Copies of this chain bind each other. A is one copy, B any other.
Amino acid sequence: MRISLQREAGTERLPVYRQIAEQIRSEIEAERLAAGERLPTIRDLARSLRVHRDTVALAYEELASAGVVESTVGRGTFVRANGKTNGATPHEFHPELSPIAEKLLDLERSRPRFGSAGEAVPMHSLVPAPSLYPADAFRRVLNRVLTEGGAPLFQYGGTQGHPRMLEVMAAHLRKAGIEIGADGIILCHGASQGISLALRLFAASGDVIAAEEPTYQNVLSAAAGLGLRTAPIPMREDGLDLAVLERTLARPEVKALYTLPTFHNPIGTTSSLEHRRALLAIAARCGKPVIEDGYEADLRFAGKPVPALAALDRSGLVIHLSSFSKSLFPGVRIGAIAARGRAVDALLALKAASDLSDAMPLQAALAEFLAAGEYDRHLARLRRVLLERRDAVLAALAEHLPAGARWTTPEGGYQIWVELPEGIDTRDLLADAVGAGVLFAPGSQFNHDGRASRCLRLSFAMADAALLRRGVAALGRVLEARLGAAARPAAVHI
């Protein structure tokens, strides 16, 4: 079998693993490799081609999924009997995908897989459990709105969003101290679309966005999906590192800061008023805009509110993102961007170029749901539940986690950040944890480069207090087994 690789960079060449797969495929089609014949081992082929073994493994995987070869553990990889590419499967055209699509596929492969975790307590995800949703109340409002609004609600609704929801959203933000009118709001398809739009507003392929590390993992994939790079700003006790921020924003290729000052994801903490003022002063000095993600802003259940960055800014420095995915339910797919000046027009143009407009029936219903006070009533209930859950998790952590573990005490939102002793890679704990009965989010997925982390994020979005206690106890057992130490912690809070 002869394989020759084009290795020099260039947009025209196929990825190396695809080159290998394509050439093996040709050998089979030309019947130079017969059905039943064994391919070289991954190790041998990697050595002879001077490529990494993962590259060969990927090539074999692609051939296997196309039905051209099959692998048997311990025996090797064999050409299939009907191993013609147009035999088993008719999909012989493999278009070259954009580098961004390839990058996203790589990212996707590196995400933790929870599989069917069965009975394990779900503490890995920030998606609130359906039992918390006011689904029936919302359904009734939606049905009423559609009965009254009729067919025109099924029109395109204008790129900015449903007029009444724009008004209601602006009033909602003003109550939180963000001075904005309906003309400064762009409704969007979840805060996740808001993130994509805000990134594209300031940055184009090759540019850099500053963001905390750790940070919301989907911001990293959103940036990758736009061909952007990210610059990590380390998190400190009180918010991101301001000195690193100033150095980073001063770089011309860095176009904006993405930040989660309130109920930070994954850390759970909220930066102080003083820190926020300093952050805004730095951004203003560097002339760089700030994208503030207020995705859990409505979920404060303890402590005193700290004004949003957007509430402290009158200059148009801050783009503020809101979401109802965490505070109501994700399925309504409504988020909002609050902006000023030309940014509003540009965001509308970007939104129009992305998907024209959103679904008006859901926006119209959400507007009524808020205006009728249903949302506030729901929030009041939800906050009580969350406070109880947080306290259950904190108590269980103090009881079950070994010495040397530390964790945060959030005043809102769903997530607690746990730091374990040096030397642990929390990815390595995941399989044991699933076995012991708990799921968590390993810290590595929140690092810009995906490197190992001794931290993990626990969420109380999905399970109730009793289950959460059981989950933390399971985590404690896994850690004790791993650390070989049953010492109780000194409950040092970060």
Distance from A141 Cβ to chain B, minimum over Cβ atoms (Å): 11
For residue A58, which residues in chain B have a CB less than 8 angstroms away from its CB? 273, 307
Bound together, the chains give a CA A357 to CA B332 distance in angstroms of 10
Of all chain B residues, which has the CB nearest A274?
Answer: B54
Number of identical protomers: 2
Bound together, the chains give a CA A175 to CA B207 distance in angstroms of 46
Distance from A90 Cβ to chain B, minimum over Cβ atoms (Å): 4
For residue A14, which residues in chain B have a CB less than 8 angstroms away from its CB? 174-175, 177
Q: Quick check: B359 and A331 within 8 Å, CB to CB?
A: yes
Bound together, the chains give a CA A135 to CA B355 distance in angstroms of 22
Q: Quick check: A155 and B329 within 8 Å, CB to CB?
A: yes
Q: Quick check: A331 and B155 within 8 Å, CB to CB?
A: yes
CB-contacts of A199-224 with B (<8 A): 200-207, 218, 221-222, 224
Bound together, the chains give a CA A356 to CA B218 distance in angstroms of 9
Supposing A204-B99, A225-B350 touch, asked if A193 and B154 sit within 8 A by C-beta, the answer is: no
The 8 Å CB contact of A314, one of B66, B341, B361, is B66
Q: Quick check: B95 and A289 within 8 Å, CB to CB?
A: yes
Q: Quick check: B101 and A130 within 8 Å, CB to CB?
A: no
Q: Quick check: A359 and B376 within 8 Å, CB to CB?
A: no
For residue A99, which residues in chain B have a CB less than 8 angstroms away from its CB? 204
The 8 Å CB contact of A316, one of B95, B131, B156, B207, is B95
The 8 Å CB contact of A155, one of B130, B225, B379, B380, is B130
Q: Interface on A for B, CB 8 Å cutoff?
A: 11-15, 17-18, 54, 58, 61-62, 65-66, 90-102, 104-105, 107-108, 127, 130-131, 133, 135-136, 138-139, 142-143, 146-147, 150-157, 174-177, 179, 189-190, 192-193, 196, 200-207, 218, 221-222, 224-225, 227, 252, 255-256, 273, 284, 287-289, 305, 307, 312-317, 325, 329-333, 340-343, 345-346, 348-350, 352-362, 376, 379-380
9 contacts between A and B (CB under 8 A): A62-B342, A90-B314, A95-B288, A98-B203, A98-B207, A105-B345, A127-B156, A155-B329, A196-B354
